[in-house]
Chains A and B, each alone.
Chain A
Amino acid sequence: MEKMARVTTALGGNALTGRTMFCHLDAPANAISVCRDAAQVVVAGRNIFKIYSIEEDQFVEKLNLRVGRKPSLNFSCADVVWHQMDENLLATAATNGVVVTWNLGKPSRNKQDQLFTEHKRTVNKVCFHPTEVYMLLSGSQDGYMKCFDLRKKDSVSTFSGQSESVRDVQFSIRDYFTFAATFENGNVQLWDIRRPDRYERMFTAHNGPVFCCDWHPEDRGWLATGGRDKMVKVWDMNTTRAKEIYCVQTIASVARVKWRPECKHHIATCSMMVDHNIYVWDVRRPFIPSAMFEEHKDVTTGIVWRHLHDPYFLLSGSKDSTLYQHIFKDASQPIDRANPEGLCYSLYGDLAFAAKESLISSDSNRKPYIGDRRHPIFFKRKLDPTEQFEYISSSSALSVFETDMESGSMDWFVHTAKQYALAGRPLAELCDHNAKVAKGLDRNQVAQTWTMLRIIYSSLGTVSSANLNHSMGKGSATLPLMNSFNLKDIPSGLGSESRLDRSKGENRTENILMDSSSTLINNEDNEETEGSDVPADYLLGDVEADEDDLYMMDHENPHAEEQEYSLPQEAFPLRHEIVDNPSALDHLQDKADSPHVSGNEAETVSLTPVESFSLISISHSLYENRLPTDFFNPIVRDTLLFYAEQGDVQTAVSVLIVLGDRIRKEIDEQTQEHWYTSYIDLLQRFQLWNISNEVIKLSTCRAINCLNQASTTLHINCSNCKRPMSNRGWICDRCRQCASMCAVCHHVVKGLFVWCQGCSHGGHLQHIMKWLETSSHCPAGCGHLCWRARYRRSSAAPWSGPTPPSPTPSSCSGSPSPGRSSCAGSPTTRGRALPGVCGAAAEAAGSGQAGQ
């Protein structure tokens, strides 16, 4: 009591004290309300009805109002409100439709005062008149609002909402006679309490139920409403027609809104479902909440500002059975984490950069950067000077830097994306293939990574690290260049190389700063330096004997070759012609630590698969279980992180997909998701739709997989009349012809169907491809130039499956997206006759349906 008194006096001096704190309730709360003196809070729910006093650093339970042996539904509260005039007076709305008032001044344990059983359905909301002591208003599911005089037994007046359920009622703070009611059908009504026959005004505020409303404490005309449509709207009621002046779009349906005291434009909200946070918005800045309280673990059901004139303390109750006091200074402020600068690359290396104007002009270092020959373009947005926004910076500048085509070329990216194999073959093959692809594009480091991955993972644990280490050691002995290259140094080794790699491969960052000439020089430099890297490459071994042209060092160091060559081979599946001779076996047994096979021998003598198998099994038994492949996981993870960091998210994602479960657990979901989205975004910008679909399909990331499940409808045009096909069947309504005839052989196409987006003609994939080898015109003779050159360059245009530019077939179709050949559908699911219904047309044109 003493403490309470202290707080109360403190309030007189307008200084609430306290800290962020919480207490456990026994049951989920449905609503909370504070006492006028800001020292006590009442919590009500289905199984709880208690009063807590708010101490300096804790909540203390003061009173349990649920008394009596038998639990009564009258205690099951949907809403509670504490009178702001009389601190002994409370009212609750029970789920069974009863309105109860409570008098804390009663001497008995049971504080229940009055019981109004006039509503037929659940009462959603009760509200005391702000200045009148005895006036109570209730709104119920049965569509009625009732006004009670607490001195009488029955309601004074009843307001009918025409059988629409009432979700909230609020007395206007300034207008003595006015109250607002919100309805399940999206309407808001204004009533005069003296006129129960009809409402004064009505307007539709939301699409779907309006769950809550709140009058602005200062401005008499402002009413905030929140609805199931995830919007908070602020209405100016001064005009004849209610005018929406602000609108905040939240991420979930809005359960409560409460204006923040003393801050004209701030409003606190919490949501009904899914989202557990409490947000405080500046309504003028609807895109980012100005403060956020993230303490609750289940939906917040009640929020209330602790004191009418204190904007820093917010109380909240939740379904997670906790009561919180939030202090504003502890709130997380998303604005701090938001990036005020924007930076974006275009596809061809152009860079756009937006930042505060002041930041750009004041930073003299940036000047030359901008003033480069790349013609920055400036945009300026001056805000209305009369508006004094607290947070919003007054203007920002946008600069665009163009790169010239040559240096910004991303061909390597496109080629890699197209040629990489990500699934469908054994891991080793995939790695090999991809290594080859990377090599072919002069991306040696990436190639090497692939090779390493194959060694690490495809050997089923047979390649022990000791083994690896050993050969590396050997390598370093024979190759002075490599003396620092051992297992531990792999990451650092990669690091140093990739710096070069980056400046070579990813001109995106540097090119902006550099002249093209300097870039060129740089590239040459890289090539030179990379010469020295070859041993590393070679060391980790490329088994493909026919690739020895890549290894310049071979001839200089034949011995080393012998040493190294065996490594991959022992771990290698029987795909290649494995070559060996008996002496190699002896050799192997002699030197148990390093089972090397002579490269020369490998080239000359070929062994039958059976024998080579025996070789493998031997090495298997010898080196098994020394080191599990898991051992390398951290290194591989670091490698991937490194690549992603370098901007080569392509490599990171490709490795992730190829390795699948082997590495997935090592990298946290969010990072993976981030990589995937970046890569998919890049692919789509290059219009590599098929590849992006493949990536989406292969990804193990839930959020990514979902990408394919939206807008799964493909719209197609008839190839004859070029008008849209109705979504039923595959015969065109208008010209009554089968839409999917092959333009070359004039037969119905079953299975893969490819068609030109320009003229809608198409046919069997094989036929069209053959046709286009000799002609560039449309086989249907329509005169359209179905320009084969372009077809070759980009898989998306002009020959492609569906008409919309971005088909995103669902991943669950089981067929590989609209195929690498830019076709839709898989032949296996289509080649089947339908029972007399649509016949061949359905099957053939069904290919357009791969999205389903």
Chain B
Amino acid sequence: MEEREGEVRWDGLCSRDAATRAAALDTIGQAVLRRSETIAPVAAVPPARAADGLLVPAARDGLSEVLARLLMLSKRCPFPDVREKSEAILSGVQELGIRIPRPLGHGPSRFIPEKETIQVGNEDTMMHTLFADSFAALGRLDNVTLVMVFHPQYLESFLKTQHYLLQMDGPLPLHYRHYIGIMAAARHQCSYLVNLHVNDFLHVGGDPKWLNGLENAPQKLQNLGELNKMLAHRPWLITKEHIEQLLKTEENSWSLAELIHAVVLLTHYHSLASFTFGCGISPEIDCEGGHTFRPPSVSNYCICDITNGYHGVDEIHASPTGSIPSTESVCEVEALMEKMKQLQECRDEEEASQEEMATRFEREKRESMFVCSSEDEESAATRDVSRHFEDTSYGYKDFSRHGMHVPTFRAQDYSWEDHGYSLVNRLYPDVGQLLDEKFHIAYNLTYNTMATHKDVDTSMLRRAIWNYIHCMFGIRYDDYDYGEINQLLDRSFKVYIKTVVCTPEKTTKRMYDSFWRQFEHSEKVHVNLLLVEARMQAELLYALRAITRYMT
């Protein structure tokens, strides 16, 4: 069969060579216009109506997807030539009397005003390199990347790891990898990630039937469902028996290498879901909910914004950086710094007894379960994600309500550096190294600033956040005084952390706004990076410990 008439190919755009891109764009432009023309004459009959703005919907023949993608390119491609040219194609289509889409939402994140984020085209050289890399690898620049680019050093490591996990050497076939990503993201009803990976999954040749639910996937993947569920919500319950069940079943069994790959993918996407919700990532422009063909006058905000109490007119909200800061929040940063200083100085004087330390940990752990958002808003999922996992009721919430006891995991007895790394690297070479780097960067990332203050040692604060998250998972550091957490993290912050880490789908803009009101958005994103990595490490530790136990 010859190349289908009007078939649009995007691949050339990923090239770093400008000439190649230009040529690819020309082909795309011709193809799109050709297809548009087949529809256009219909519109040409009543020219008056077209003038009214009631243009012909482009839904036919998959043209709308093409247009949406062009729209995405015109906004999000790191190469200026592509941006301009795709815009030109779009207006060309519009001239033919066809309705073109228009982006919905406000920048890559619903929580962060668009003007605060880095605009494509304004990035510095390092960011541009990262954008170009990401675009070349994925054929898009996703909103996660656009938000993470606040911290380019981390972003680089993140993209490298993700690229390796999804596209490079590994025991699992490509479509399995994306499907596992979908499974993991679906656990948290993260429609954003599900949408992205459904496209990727189909792109690498996955069977669309699988997308109708886990029961349509091969038995092997179904077996993984249980582990997915536990990892996402109660990783401490994973035992070597679970591992054995996956590895020892006569048919559809997993090999150790495959299992490690799957576990890394699952934890990666669980925590990425946390990030997505924690930073309020908007749907991609070319995905469902990211664009609309409706003319602007009809509706000015999307459903997600409504449910999150976010109104189109964002000027109503005082911007978090605070042009009109309340007196209370002025002191916030100073108070926090004061506390840190005190803690640093006084730690020797106030000798807490051993039992006291143990109680503090237990108390923090227990309390972390009751820290719960008072708001019970449900965010609207734009795609029915629940079909990807069978048991929606099984969540983190469950156990806090029933007061289930989380056993204590001693970090000194099984740590990532000593044990986890070795195991991962043994079974899935190079990934241990990549993850190690990523954890390291996330944990040590600092600009020595706090809001407007410079030269602040934030290590104590970062450690408190990290350990608080691990504490929620029952991981205890002998050498940490959990009293510090109470001093440094106030309640609204704890609520935010707890929600993002355990039930990310419940995160709201209000929560995001109400903690650390004086801090920069980039700092809040930084907090999210800590949450993501700490959560990922905690889940990994439990899974890897179970695997180690199985192996010995």
B-binding residues in A (CB < 8 A): 46, 70-74, 76, 78, 94-97, 117, 119-122, 141, 184, 208-209, 211, 228, 252-253, 272-274, 276, 297-299, 661, 702, 705-706, 709-713, 726-731, 733-734, 736, 738, 746-748, 750, 810, 812-814, 829-830, 832, 834-843, 846, 849, 852
Contact = CB atoms under 8 A, between A and B. Distances in A.
A810 B171 contact: yes
B24 A736 contact: yes
Contacts of B4: 839-840
A660 to B, nearest CB: 11
Interface in B1-47: 1-4, 7-12, 14-15, 17, 20, 23-24, 27
A748 B1 contact: yes
B420 to A, nearest CB: 9
A401 to B, nearest CB: 39
The listed residue with most B CB atoms (<10 A of its CB), out of A71, A184, A726, A837, is A837
A247 B358 CA distance: 43
Contact of B203 (A78, A97, A120, A838): A838
6 contacts: A74-B354, A97-B478, A298-B552, A837-B199, A846-B205, A852-B204
A812 B173 contact: yes
Contacts of A72: 354
B23 A274 contact: no
B124 interface: no
A95 B205 contact: no
Contacts of B139: 728
A141 B342 CA distance: 22
Nearest to B167: A727
Contacts of B421: 208, 228
Interface stretch (B90-98, B232-240, B376-384, B411-419): B411-419
Contacts of A709: 170-171, 255, 257-258
Contacts of A829: 205, 207
The listed residue with most A CB atoms (<10 A of its CB), out of B10, B65, B204, B354, is B354
A47 B51 CA distance: 82
Contacts of A209: 417-418
A738 B3 contact: yes
The listed residue with most B CB atoms (<10 A of its CB), out of A208, A276, A738, A846, is A208
Q: Which 7 A-B pairs rank lowest in CB-CB distance, beginning with the nearest?
A: A729-B11, A709-B171, A95-B478, A72-B354, A852-B174, A839-B7, A273-B422
B273 to A, nearest CB: 24
A196 to B, nearest CB: 20
Contacts of A211: 418
B357 A96 contact: yes
Interface in B340-356: 347-348, 351, 354-355
Contact of A736 (B20, B199, B551): B20
B400 interface: no
Interface in B376-419: 410, 412-413, 417-419
Given A73-B358, A208-B421, A849-B174, A731 B1 contact: no
The listed residue with most A CB atoms (<10 A of its CB), out of B23, B172, B347, is B172
Interface in B171-226: 171-176, 199, 202-205, 207-208, 218, 220
B122 to A, nearest CB: 26
A834 B202 contact: yes
Contacts of A814: 218
B455 interface: no
A249 to B, nearest CB: 14
Interface residues of B, number: 73
Contacts of A208: 421, 433, 436
B173 A852 contact: yes
Contact of B413 (A46, A120, A736): A46
B62 A835 contact: yes
A661 B24 CA distance: 54
Contacts of B207: 829
A451 B106 CA distance: 74
B169 A121 contact: no
Nearest to A734: B20
B136 interface: yes
Contacts of B173: 712, 810, 812-813, 852
A70 B354 contact: yes
Given A122-B412, A712-B169, A273 B479 contact: no
B423 interface: yes
A836 B65 contact: yes
Contacts of A228: 417-418, 421-422
Contact of A836 (B15, B62, B433, B477): B62
Given A812-B172, A835-B65, A842 B15 contact: no
Contacts of A746: 2
A94 B202 contact: no
B363 interface: no
A76 B478 contact: yes
Nearest to B176: A812
A204 to B, nearest CB: 16
B157 interface: no
A729 B205 contact: no
A661 B348 CA distance: 67
Contacts of A712: 169-171, 173
B48 interface: no
A806 to B, nearest CB: 14
Contacts of B171: 706, 709-710, 712, 810, 812
Given A709-B171, A840-B1, 8 more contacts: A96-B354, A122-B478, A272-B418, A273-B422, A713-B168, A729-B10, A748-B1, A836-B8
B426 interface: yes
Contacts of B331: none
Contacts of A838: 9-11, 203
A733 B170 CA distance: 25
A272 B478 contact: no
Contacts of B426: 252, 273-274
Nearest to A96: B478
Given A73-B478, A272-B418, A273-B419, A736 B8 contact: no
Nearest to B261: A709
A728 B419 contact: no
B306 interface: no
A254 B170 CA distance: 26
Contacts of B168: 713
A272 B422 contact: yes
Nearest to A71: B354
B552 A733 contact: no
B88 interface: no
A829 B202 CA distance: 11
Contact of A274 (B10, B14, B423, B433): B423
A679 B482 CA distance: 59
B548 A273 contact: yes
Contacts of B66: 836
The listed residue with most A CB atoms (<10 A of its CB), out of B2, B205, B258, is B205
Contacts of B3: 738, 748, 839-840
A626 B199 CA distance: 58
Contact of B7 (A96, A297, A840): A840
The listed residue with most A CB atoms (<10 A of its CB), out of B12, B173, B410, B413, is B173
Given A95-B412, A272-B422, A729 B9 contact: yes
B19 to A, nearest CB: 10
B59 interface: no
A835 B354 contact: no
Contacts of A728: 11, 14, 136-137, 139
A813 B257 CA distance: 15
Contacts of A276: 552
A736 B479 contact: no
A45 B237 CA distance: 25
A76 B208 CA distance: 54
Contact of A122 (B205, B257, B479): B479
B235 to A, nearest CB: 20
B169 A706 contact: no
A836 to B, nearest CB: 5
A186 B20 CA distance: 44
